[in-house]
Amino acid sequence: MADQVLVLDGVWKGFHRGRDWLSVLEGVSLTVDAVEIVTVVGTRDQGKTTLLRVAAGTLLPEQGLVRFGELELTRLKERDLSRLLCSEIGLATRDGPSMRMLVRDYVGLPLPTGRWFGRRDRRRQAIEALGMLGVADCTCQRWGELSDWQRVRVEFAQAVVGRPRVVLVDDVLDGLTFSQKQEAMGLLKGFADDLGCGVLMTASDHMSALTSDRVWQLDDGKLKLMADFTGPDIVPRRGRAECPGEAAG
């Protein structure tokens, strides 16, 4: 049986807009196994960020279950959830840090602090993660000095610096060139293989979902499976190069 690191089951989420109720996610269900990449594709304002926030436990659904391993995230206290986000769940978003914060300090934010793991340890581990992502030269730079491609790799460094069990990636590939998207997906595959973690990412186009194990389409709050390369009769993802959107057709 596959090692399911993340499960969303029957998730509903919406928001009040004045007197109106805006439904964003309607009965969303998916799983992420260890050492696999699952991508949710959707256009802007379809609820991709809401989905990732629910998956991270930082946004509570109206209905449904969100489970990380054996833990139900919707039942965790805020303190326990914060610890989980610092050690077990890595996040890569488009937000970035304060413009005044050095990249090395930003990457080290998820790491613990305390008597046995001080500022020097955090800085060392952050620099190692930046080096692994090929952006060691950005260590002492600030967010506003980075290119879009450097920002993506810095976000990846922060997401994996604590060696998490699952990495959540919120549409950070939007705006990159095709070759950069290919390289980014190669990095995510490397994380999954080396760390044994699962990856759940959102994307604005199917080209960003290349080499994913499963691809879902998010439209009007509902998920539709577009491609699944995890079955016994499917060619393993390392031997596959076609676009998931084309394969699903």
Question: What is the per-residue pLDDT across 75-124, written as a single tens digit (0 to 9) for each?
Answer: 888 888 888 887 899 999 988 888 789 999 999 998 887 667 788 888 99
Clarify whether residues 76 and 128 are in a common domain: no
> In this predicted model, which residue has the larger pLDDT, 1 or 181?
181
**Structure confidence by residue, pLDDT tens digits, 193-243:** 999 999 999 999 988 888 899 999 999 999 999 999 886 544 444 434 344
Clarify whether residues 76 and 177 are in a common domain: yes
Of the candidates 163, 183, 210, which is a domain's last residue?
163
What pLDDT score was predicted for residue 231? 65
Element (H, E) at 49: helix 48-56
- Rounded CA-CA distance 63/66 in Å is 10
How much is the mean pLDDT over the chain? Answer: 87
CA count, 13 A, side-chain hemisphere, 15: 7
Clarify whether residues 74 and 115 are in a common domain: no
Closest residue by Cα to residue 102 from 146, 63, 133, 132: 146
Q: Which residues are within 8 A (CB) of 69 and not within 5 positions of it... i.e. 6 or more apart?
A: 4, 5, 88, 165
Report the predicted TM-score, pTM, of the whole model to 2 decimal places.
Answer: 0.87
Clarify whether residues 104 and 128 are in a common domain: yes
How is residue 233 written in tokens? 């009769």
Residue 169: what are its φ and ψ, rounded to 5°? -120, 115
Residue 93 lies in a domain: no
What pLDDT score was predicted for residue 68? 93
What pLDDT score was predicted for residue 80? 86
Clarify whether residues 132 and 20 are in a common domain: no
Residue 121 lies in a domain: yes
> In this predicted model, which residue has the larger pLDDT, 120 or 52?
52
Give the total number of structural domains in the chain. Answer: 2
Clarify whether residues 153 and 187 are in a common domain: no
- Rounded CA-CA distance 110/97 in Å is 13
Strand blocks (E) in the chain? 4-17, 20-33, 37-41, 63-68, 71-72, 89-92, 166-170, 198-203, 214-219, 222-228
Does residue 51 register a pLDDT over 70? Answer: yes
Domain interval for residue 152: 98-163
Residue 24 lies in a domain: yes
Maximum distance among all alpha carbons in the chain?
56
DSSP state of 239: G
* 220 burial type by CB count under 10 A (0-12 exposed, 13-18 middle, 19+ buried): exposed
What pLDDT score was predicted for residue 232? 54
- Rounded CA-CA distance 50/57 in Å is 11
- Tell me the Cα Rg of the chain: 18
Clarify whether residues 146 and 204 are in a common domain: no
Clarify whether residues 182 and 223 are in a common domain: yes
Clarify whether residues 156 and 176 are in a common domain: no
CA distances from 95 to 25, 35, 92, 151 (A): 22, 26, 9, 10
What pLDDT score was predicted for residue 1? 46
Of the candidates 106, 138, 163, which is a domain's last residue?
163
Clarify whether residues 82 and 200 are in a common domain: yes
Average pLDDT over residues 8-13: 95
